[in-house]
Amino acid sequence: MKKKWVIKQIDDDKVLHFLLKKKIFDHRADCTFLPLDENVDSIQKHDADIFLVNFGLADNESSLSHLSKSESNRAIIALVNSKKQLNQLSAEINLPYIEKGKDSISKITDIIESTIFNLYERERRITMSI
């Protein structure tokens, strides 16, 4: 079983990155929070378990669809500026999301912890089936 979960933020929001690092990830021994990256295409280059992705940085809807259907051993949480932006995304994309500037740190923590739990459970089921 995995000992540390690796989280990567694909975004241009340095303030949110700092808040996430200080309020959530500096207090979790089971997580490594990688440096901020603004290039959505770099998602393929990073070996992370969870990606926090600002979908506003994606070039087109097809790349959004590709991101949302990434490998099953990864999880993606969408970072959106408004619910309107989320609604403009393709109906195919069904991801947990964080509304920047609106969601509290406690709600963001709950979303991230829920995602980590789901990955842990998925990994546990795979390990038990072997």
SS3 content of the chain, % helix, strand, coil (to 5): 45, 20, 35
Mean pLDDT by 10 residues, the chain (130 residues): 87 94 93 89 81 77 58 78 71 76 92 93 87
Residue 39 is predicted with a pLDDT of 82
Residue 62 is predicted with a pLDDT of 53
pTM of structure: 0.84
What does the angle CA 114 – CA 120 – CA 125 come to, to the nearest 5 degrees?
A: 125
CA dist list (Å): 21 to 3, 46, 59, 84 = 19, 18, 27, 27
Residue 21 is predicted with a pLDDT of 95
Residue 25 is predicted with a pLDDT of 94
Domain range list for the chain: 5-129
**CATH numeric code, 5-129:** 3.40.50.2300
